[in-house]
Amino acid sequence: MVANNEEKRRAAKIVRRLRATYPDAECALRHENAFQLLVATILSAQCTDERVNLVTRELFARYPTAQDLAALSQERLEKLIQSTGFFRNKAKSIRGCCQRLVERHGGEVPRDLEALVALPGVGRKTANVVLGTAFGLPTGVVVDTHVSRISQRLGLTHTADPVKAERELMEHLPKREWIAYSHRVIHHGRQVCKARKPLCDRCSLADVCPRIGVAS
């Protein structure tokens, strides 16, 4: 769906409001480099950022490189990340990802979308997180649960499918805003536009939000 001029103008107003409200919004996953962000993002599936940060603090202190994690046994890694949930699949993905990084990329995270999504356990969302946050490359818009919910409420997207929603957002938003939009909307979702009971009376977007799907 191609956004018309009116939709783009409203999207631009939303972007300006979010920028003013959350000028310093950034990724909540603690990391020191692209590799740590990649692993943390894999761990963040169906898990809070707070829990991931607790787990990765110890994990990266002991095993800071792709070579280190690639050499771990499945059982050992499972034990280290167990509290993040779905730990067997996550451990398999992280080990496979790290082994591929070592084998094909010298242990370094590639700055290329196609190369990233070719890694085990890495989809487009994870690749966009790493490329946008670690490298400043706007390859797409990260669509997590907050971004999906709020973008639909704002009328910027019309689907719960993250791939289709990302395409709609890429049509509505200028490319220079793709990275920051997700960070700011995630903060907004945690603080104001909550899933069950959004705080519309405190919302800086109240006058431009059609509140789609929000019970009156």
**123, 129 Cβ separation under 8 angstroms:** no
Handedness of CA 36, 149, 123, 23 (dihedral sign): negative
Q: Given this structure, which CATH class describes domain 5-23+142-208?
A: mainly alpha
Question: What helix, strand, coil percent values describe the chain, rounded to 5?
Answer: 65, 0, 35
- Domain residue ranges of the chain, discontinuous segments joined by +: 5-23+142-208, 34-135
pLDDT value for 215:
83
**140, 170 Cβ separation under 8 angstroms:** yes
What average pLDDT does the segment 40-68 reach? Answer: 97
The yes-or-no verdict on residue 167 having pLDDT over 90 is: yes
For the record, the structure tokens of 207 come out as: 């006058």
Which residues are known catalytic residues? 125, 144
pLDDT digits over 79-125, tens only?
A: 999 999 999 999 999 999 999 999 999 999 999 999 999 999 999 99
CATH superfamily of domain region 34-135: Hypothetical protein; domain 2 (1.10.340.30)
